[in-house]
Amino acid sequence: MPSIVDANLSCINLVTNLSKLNKTKKKWGSAFMTIYCSKAFKNVLSCRKNRISPVLSDTVIIDVAEVPPSFCNVDQTTLTKLVKEKSLGLLDQLGGIQGIAASLNTEVQHGLNGDDAEDILRRIEAFGSNTYRKPPKKGFFHFNGAKEGWYDGGSIFVALSKFSSNIPVEVVRNGRRQQISIFEVVVGDVVRLKIGDQVPADGLLLEGHSLSIDESSMTGESDHLEVNQNQNPFLTSGTKVADGYGQMLVTSVGMSTTWGEMMSSVSQDSNEKTPLQSRLNKLTSAIGKLGLALHLLIL
């Protein structure tokens, strides 16, 4: 406001002085006054337009947009526990399968955006990659001695060989089916499963028909396990599709899967046995006893 008042006063003074001039000088004075006053008011308006609200000289105001965390409603420990314990109660607490999908920023119908490299990288940083650390090299006899080592060591070697193979996996990304390497599967991916496929990671069944899983690599049991959305939607890495088909939401990959945790614990403690090892131990023990009985009969 003071600047406008100053401009007005200057122009008024010019008009007053202009009235005292003769006719010739008054003509030139009028032109000068018009130009002067126009510039004066123009400068004042320009200053008002560009004026910055007054702040303290030692204060800096920075307007930064808040970036929300990518996966704030779920963590890897919880996701691993969910499938490992096959907990329907925990699944319900997390909002069901659709709730977990939302927390993982996954559109179940279209899958992830495979063209968004930053999103894929964020998922790897948050949940890890779908790779497995190789345990320290140990002989077959290390596991249970010479008698049983051939069986247990061999079974683990075969299982690890499967996971180190670069097998193709069918996923849904950008709303289209496409094949990627098993090592490229990330948490939040939508994976399609059919008969004969290896389940590439831990996850939850989104939809399917007559899906049954062979979990013998995990439990040693030969019976096939039915997987459905209501009573048992849990899928474990390393198992195999025995019948039916379906789509799964990946919740854990690599060393964070049930298989990864199991193999990690076995490599750290050689005295801890997997369910498959325990079954093989009983089998080899029975074969040994049978062999001894036949030997005594022959004698």
Kindly state whether residues 35 and 82 are assigned to the same domain. Answer: no
- The structural domain count of the chain equals 2
Residue 233 belongs to a domain: yes
pLDDT, tens digit (0-9, with 9 covering 90-100), for 214-255? 988 777 777 799 999 999 999 999 999 999 999 999 999 999
User: pLDDT confidence of 149, banded at 50, 70, 90?
Assistant: very low
Residue 241 belongs to a domain: yes
Kindly state whether residues 157 and 45 are assigned to the same domain. Answer: no
When pLDDT is averaged across residues 100-106 and rounded to a whole number, the result is: 96
Residue 117 belongs to a domain: yes
Kindly state whether residues 6 and 46 are assigned to the same domain. Answer: yes
Kindly state whether residues 189 and 125 are assigned to the same domain. Answer: yes
Kindly state whether residues 178 and 247 are assigned to the same domain. Answer: yes
Kindly state whether residues 42 and 144 are assigned to the same domain. Answer: no
Kindly state whether residues 87 and 30 are assigned to the same domain. Answer: no
Residue 62 belongs to a domain: no
Buried (b) or exposed (e) across 79-113, using 16+ Cβ within 10 A? bbebbbeeeeeebeebeebeebbbbbebeeeebbe
pLDDT, tens digit (0-9, with 9 covering 90-100), for 171-180? 999 999 999 9
Residue 34 domain boundaries: 2-50
pLDDT reading at 102 higher than 60: yes
Residue whose pair of structure tokens reads 């060989």 in the numeric block: 161
Q: What's the predicted TM-score (pTM) here? A: 0.62
Residue 45 belongs to a domain: yes
Residue 97 belongs to a domain: yes
| Range list of H helices, the chain | 2-18, 23-50, 76-85, 88-93, 96-103, 117-127, 145-163, 216-219, 258-268, 275-298
Q: The domain that contains 163 carries what CATH number?
A: 2.70.150.10
